[in-house]
A = this chain, B = another copy of it.
Amino acid sequence: MSAASSDPSGMATAADGKELKQERAVRTRETILHAAAQLFADKGYPSVTILDVAQLAGMTKGAVYFHYANKEALALAVTSEFYRRLPAIAESVEELGLSPIASVAELLMRTALALRDNTMMQAGARLQIESALIGIDLPVPFQDYTGLVRTWLERAVALGELQHSTPPHALARVIVSAFFGTQHISWVLHDRQDIAERVLEVAETVLPSCHDALRTCPSVQGCRKT
């Protein structure tokens, strides 16, 4: 059963064994995290039990409790992963070297597609909505994402790419509100199947003078083609 006994060379040292054990622990934690994310996304936080998580992960309740103290800890871990992925999406956009306005549109589109296609993102979004039902404080939502959008809008104003009667800090709030509302309504009414079109509609409406910028966004072009 131990890593050493399954080593065909029979040469495993104690240090190798410890490393393999740690790797296994990391993999087990990931398996549990993904099972929890799947269940939170599908059923909602209040309806999920540790037994559900253990069964989906293919292990005992004891094994789950060994890695996560309780359901709140699982919710926090899933939410933390969600809030790690949002800035990672922003970084992937930054690397494209688009104009600031195109970057905002591409960020919204990539976030939308991640919400449509990725269970961890769906779980994070649902846990945010249900956060008042979770007995611990989760990270404060919306603020970092709004700050990101604001930074790009300020750059756009500085570069003369954006002329809007609403100043960047307020426009960033409106864009994030419209994005959040759109993805929620798309989820409730259409199981997120129309999320890309709806978010593109938001970008085109709230940034109306930016059609040229939108033409440079890979995700926008991908959505228009389909």
Binding site for B on A (CB under 8 A): 44, 46-47, 129-133, 140-143, 164-166, 170-171, 173-174, 176-182, 184-185, 188-189, 198, 201-202, 204-206, 208
Query: Are A205 and B47 neighbours in the complex by a CB distance under 8 Å?
Result: no
A188 to chain B, nearest CB (A): 6
Within the complex, what minimum Cβ distance (angstroms) separates A151 from chain B?
18
Instruction: List 10 A-B pairs, minimum CB-CB distance, nearest first.
Output: A181-B181, A177-B181, A178-B178, A180-B181, A46-B46, A177-B182, A166-B205, A174-B205, A44-B133, A177-B178
Minimum CB–CB distance from A174 to chain B (whole Å) comes to: 5
- Docked-complex contact A198 and B173, CB < 8 angstroms: yes
- Whole-angstrom CA separation of A164 from B142 in the bound complex: 28
Say yes or no: A189 contacts B47, CB within 8 Å: no
Given A129-B129, A181-B181, decide whether A205 and B171 contact each other with a Cβ distance below 8 A. yes
Residues of B near A174 (CB, < 8 A) are 178, 182, 201-202, 205-206
A226 to B155, alpha carbons, bound, how many Å?
A: 32
Give Cα A185 to B143, complex, Å. 10
Contacts of A143 in B (CB 8 A): 189
